[in-house]
Chain A
Amino acid sequence: DADVTQTPRNRITKTGKRIMLECSQTKGHDRMYWYRQDPGLGLRLIYYSFDVKDINKGEISDGYSVSRQAQAKFSLSLESAIPNQTALYFCATSEPRGDQETQYFGPGTRLLVL
């Protein structure tokens, strides 16, 4: 987990506020991902990036945006937070390894939208 860090670890915000969650990695991986986890629903992919100039929408991108500032940094923004965006958010990284590719996760950011 120390190779993939997320800030903040916990955040409370109010409906309508814009917030940013940040992810940094020291693994040198090109590929980065943002997921959200809700109780009983597993992880769902929000956005992913395969290199600095590549951004792709995932399963649930509405209400979110991302920025890949550098190979090591991938930020997730909630443009106007709403209560149903309350969740645990995870950043992950991977490197291309054909059919052996696995992902490395950060410790998560717990977000509460009031």
Chain B
Amino acid sequence: SQQGEEDPQALSIQEGENATMNCSYKTSINNLQWYRQNSGRGLVHLILIRSNEREKHSGRLRVTLDTSKKSSSLLITASRAADTASYFCATNQGAQKLVFGQGTRLTINP
């Protein structure tokens, strides 16, 4: 069964607005990662947050992690048309395997 559950399944916003996606998981993790997938293409790693970290930034991306609630959020600020993609969270539970969520489809409208 899938470890990560993502919310919302789909999100449509105007260019320039911020986009927030959430991920919940069920068991202890070593780290949580976010990946982006452009339509029909391979996934690309965006950012990793370790279990002992609470917040991390990378350019326009901000990730938070709340291990007590077993949840994470990905914030994309000042969205652009090129941000249109599916976003997946993936949890590393140890043994160096990743378990992926179902993804959030983000559409940025011009």
Is A101 an interface residue, CB under 8 A from the partner?
A: yes
Q: In the complex, are the beta carbons of A108 and B40 less than 8 A apart?
A: yes
Q: In the complex, are the beta carbons of B88 and A103 less than 8 A apart?
A: no
Is B2 an interface residue, CB under 8 A from the partner?
A: yes
Query: Which range holds the interface residue count of chain B?
Result: 20 to 34
Q: In the complex, are the beta carbons of B102 and A99 less than 8 A apart?
A: no
Cβ-closest chain A residue relative to B43: A105
Residues of A within 8 A of B2 (CB): 41-42, 44
Q: In the complex, are the beta carbons of A40 and B102 less than 8 A apart?
A: yes
Q: In the complex, are the beta carbons of B45 and A102 less than 8 A apart?
A: yes
Is A4 an interface residue, CB under 8 A from the partner?
A: yes
Question: How many pairs of residues, A versus B, come closer than 8 Å at their CB atoms?
Answer: 63
Q: What string of 1s and 0s marks CB contacts (under 8 Å) between A60-101 and chain B?
A: 000000000000000000000000000010101010100111
Q: What string of 1s and 0s marks CB contacts (under 8 Å) between B5-46 and chain A?
A: 000010000000000000000000011010100001111110
Is B98 an interface residue, CB under 8 A from the partner?
A: yes
Given contacts A99-B31, A100-B48, are A45 and B97 in contact (CB under 8 A)?
Answer: yes
Give 17 new A-B contacts, CB below 8 A, not counting A4-B42, A35-B100, A45-B98: A1-B42, A1-B44, A40-B102, A43-B100, A48-B97, A50-B96, A58-B97, A88-B40, A94-B96, A96-B96, A99-B92, A100-B48, A100-B50, A101-B92, A103-B45, A105-B42, A105-B44
Q: For the complex of A and B, list the 10 residue pairs with the smallest distance between their C-beta atoms, beginning with the closest.
A: A105-B42, A43-B100, A42-B102, A42-B100, A102-B45, A105-B43, A99-B30, A107-B42, A99-B31, A1-B42
